Amino acid sequence: MGGTITHVLGARPNFVKAAPVIRALATLGFAQRVVHTGQHYDERMSEIFFVQLGLPRPDVNLGVGSGTQARQTAEVMVGMEEEFTRTPPALAVVYGDVNSTIGASLAGAKLGVPLAHVEAGLRSFDDTMPEEINRRLTDQLCSLLFVTSPEAVGHLAREGRPAGAVYFVGNPMIDTLLANLPVFDAAAARSSHGLGDRRYVVATLHRPANVDSPDRAQELVSALHEVAAELDVIIPLHPRGRATLEAAGLLDAPRVRVIDPLGYLEFMSLVRGASAVVTDSGGVQEETTLLRVPCLTLRPNTERPITVTSGSNRLITRDELAAAVLKACDDGPYTGELPPLWDGHAGPRIARIITTWLKAA
């Protein structure tokens, strides 16, 4: 195939979504480059994902690391401008809604690089979330908009994006989940954390609204301690907010266990065996839906409303957290229908559309 396709990855969700797309394009014979921006630079949060997901080693690592929203986005822009100038691609593919996504999109658009966005059109309608700004702007810059959820098509139409640029392809994150389902070992996860046959809850918390303010962190810790009075609570804790949560007494309850971030297989094995998950992440809402583990999302809104309308996920406040988690554990696994096109074939659909688009370009 003529022309190179460049994939820009920066954080855990990007890796999980990109793996089936890169694999499908490789099957069709495309030359590809992978740029890791280094937005997630801890080995457990980035490098291990390349190994476990079978991703090709990055051709470039920009090494942007942590920083403010502006600094991180700016460093991605500078690095991607150099990359696109040195190795102009036939198409650049960006994923999700992190700072790497918008930084690469801005750099590419100004250089005339054609852009595709995987997971286009998701909206929380909460402009206090940096990710919401990233999503909206990225979708205005991209020529190909790959939609993972039906309502996203309408969002893009209302924002003036042409119908011919929008493709409902399903969810490549689910492709990765289904491909690895046989190796998610809940029993091994239980054993490694000394849980025996006890019920447990997994919590993933990193958003500023939950972990940046000492007062809010104190409320959150109190709620988690209520849950821990009944169940073990396992928290793979993101570097963001760790100091604030620990200062609020997170570790004071004996059944609260804070662990370092996990690799993809280890984390999903832990989630698979959980009685419930508390999260403020986006992707975890989808992963728990497929695994049929009740999800409680500690946010006032979600860009993945299909998980709420399907019944697998519920939005909660800190005041509701303890009661909601205990009820979810008692209610048991989610038994409803899965969202449309969660069939494990989103990656090949995206690859076929890219092939056709490049031929016509």
Quick check: 106 and 75 in contact, CB under 8 A?
no
Q: Determine the pLDDT at residue 44.
A: 54
The model's pTM: 0.95
Q: Determine the pLDDT at residue 78.
A: 97
Pair (98, 193) in one structural domain? no
The reply to whether 336 falls in a domain is no
Pair (155, 196) in one structural domain? no
Pair (214, 248) in one structural domain? yes
3-class state of residue 9 by DSSP: strand
Pair (35, 154) in one structural domain? yes
The residue written with tokens 């040195």 in the block is 86
The reply to whether 176 falls in a domain is no
Quick check: 144 and 117 in contact, CB under 8 A?
yes
The reply to whether 92 falls in a domain is yes
Q: Which one is catalytic: 36, 155, 193, 206?
A: 206
Q: Is the dihedral of CA 132, 94, 281, 341 positive or negative?
A: positive
Q: Determine the pLDDT at residue 50.
A: 83
Which pair of tokens denotes residue 127?
A: 């402009």
Amino acid at 274: A
Q: Determine the pLDDT at residue 343.
A: 97
**Residue 41 burial by Cβ neighbours in a 10 Å radius (0-12, 13-18, 19+):** middle
Rounded to an integer, what distance in angstroms lies between the CA atom of residue 241 and that of residue 359?
Answer: 47
Pair (152, 283) in one structural domain? no
Query: Domain total for the chain?
Result: 2
Pair (114, 209) in one structural domain? no
Pair (207, 151) in one structural domain? no
Pair (71, 144) in one structural domain? yes
Q: How far apart are the first and last CA of the chain?
A: 14
Q: What string of pLDDT tens digits covers the 361 residues of the chain?
A: 458 999 999 988 899 999 999 999 999 999 999 999 987 655 555 678 888 999 999 999 999 988 889 999 999 999 999 999 999 999 999 999 999 999 999 999 999 999 999 999 999 999 999 999 999 999 999 999 999 999 999 999 999 999 999 999 999 999 999 999 999 999 999 999 999 999 999 999 988 889 989 999 999 999 999 999 999 999 998 777 888 999 999 999 999 999 998 999 999 999 999 999 999 999 999 999 999 999 999 999 999 999 999 999 999 999 999 999 999 999 999 999 999 999 999 999 999 999 999 999 8
CATH number at residue 107: 3.40.50.2000
Pair (155, 272) in one structural domain? no
The reply to whether 337 falls in a domain is no
**DSSP characters for 271-333?**
HHT-SEEEE--SHHHHHHHHHT--EEE-SS--S-HHHHHTTSEEE--TTTHHHHHHHHHHH-S
The range of the structural domain enclosing residue 318 comes to 181-331
Which residues are 235's β-sheet partners?
Answer: 258
Q: Determine the pLDDT at residue 65.
A: 83
Residue 117 a catalytic site member? no
Pair (266, 349) in one structural domain? no
Pair (187, 131) in one structural domain? no
**DSSP characters for 102-164?**
HHHHHHHHHTT--EEEEEET-----TTSHHHHHHHHHHHH-SEEEESSTHHHHHHHHTT--GG
Q: Determine the pLDDT at residue 259.
A: 94
